[in-house]
Amino acid sequence: MKNQLLIPLFLTVGATLGGCRASTLPVTRSALGTPRQPADLLAVIDLPGPLTVDTVVSAYWEVDLDGLLDLSDPKAKAAGLTNRGEPIEVDFHAIRHPQLGLFVVDTGVERAERDDPEHVHVRGLVRKVMNGDKSRMVDPFGAWLGRQSDRLQGVMLTHMHLDHVWGMPDVPAHTPVYTGPGEATGKQLDHLFTQGLTDDLMAGQDQVSEWPFVAAADGGLAVVDVFGDGSLWALATPGHTPGSTAYLARTPSGPILLTGDTCHTAWGWQNGVPPGSFTADRDANRRSLNALRELAARHPKMQVRLGHQRLVP
């Protein structure tokens, strides 16, 4: 059967069932991370920090622009943007803390994608719908991890879309995994289509630990001080998915913001246009994107690294 017929079938069945969670993994409140107020982040944001952040291209890929960008946005219309295949990257980010060691944000793609295509997890219909044949594997997570001398201490996810947990099979079993609140448990129709695969990709892990955000007193971004020393911050940016999370790392040369898929594209960031059909709640996504852009505008030394494209080629 053609994909075009199967997907409406899935969604019709799903609609009658009310959708399901992104993953059935147990969920707990993270013991790592201290809830703080935005003012606490702003007090240190421009001070040099101790972290390094290496962004690794795990794969090149091409997907539909109308998923990456809301083409009904007046700015997208004015620019004459129409749907087309858009080249993107699947990245992950290695964060090193001088005392606490190596962490990653997201996971790129699994090693089998490049080295053992017979045994990849993303296959069949899901692979077709994901445009899997339009991907070119560069540095799978397991291949990269094999070259590192330090042990991986944890995986911090921006969210649980398949292209962000694609490398999870290469993550050593029982590694702590962190997400925003509601990321694994939020019910959506398309999870009927992805939950089994997400669970397979994360099969070696015990649970998902949710960042302990508390609402900001001034209505701004809720923030968690991840290591308790003000070096790494998790920022609640719901919208793209319920638990979408951005990360801000303080390095010797200034702050680095990892937006996750609150913004996939360079054009979207430059023009303040949120993602399109890949986003669950476009209004909430727009509010989160605006908050991140305002933060970056007020701190010009900030380097911004987007979900799937480079701001500086």
**What are the residues binding Zn ion (CB under 5 A)?**
161, 261
**185 vs 194, beta carbon nearer Zn ion:** 194
Which of 237, 242, 210, 244 is closest to 226 using CA atoms? 210
How does DSSP assign 80-139, residue by residue? T----EEEEEEEEEEEEETTTEEEEES----THHHH-GGG-SS-HHHHHHTTGGG-EE-S
**91 vs 261, beta carbon nearer Zn ion:** 261
**41 vs 235, beta carbon nearer Zn ion:** 235
Strands 85-97 vs 52-64: parallel, antiparallel or unpaired: antiparallel
| Residue 12 Cβ vs Zn ion, minimum distance, rounded to whole Å | 24
Residue bearing tokens 């794969």: 59
**50 vs 260, beta carbon nearer Zn ion:** 260
| Residue 278 Cβ vs Zn ion, minimum distance, rounded to whole Å | 5
- Other CB atoms within 10 Å distance of the CB of residue 7: 14
**139 vs 261, beta carbon nearer Zn ion:** 261
**231 vs 244, beta carbon nearer Zn ion:** 244
| Residue 115 Cβ vs Zn ion, minimum distance, rounded to whole Å | 25
Strands 245-251 vs 232-236: parallel, antiparallel or unpaired: antiparallel
Q: Cα-Cα-Cα-Cα dihedral of 209, 214, 218, 224, to 10°?
A: -40
| Residue 162 Cβ vs Zn ion, minimum distance, rounded to whole Å | 9
In degrees and rounded to multiples of 5, residue 249 shows phi and psi of -110, 130
| Residue 67 Cβ vs Zn ion, minimum distance, rounded to whole Å | 9
**90 vs 192, beta carbon nearer Zn ion:** 90
Which of 239, 280, 275, 238 is closest to 72 using CA atoms? 275
| Residue 227 Cβ vs Zn ion, minimum distance, rounded to whole Å | 26
| Residue 240 Cβ vs Zn ion, minimum distance, rounded to whole Å | 6
Contact 58, 108 (CB under 8 A): yes
For residue 20, the number of C-alpha atoms closer than 13 Å in the C-beta half-sphere is 16
Give the pair of three-digit tokens for residue 21.
Answer: 């969670």
Which of 241, 249, 237 is closest to 290 using CA atoms? 237
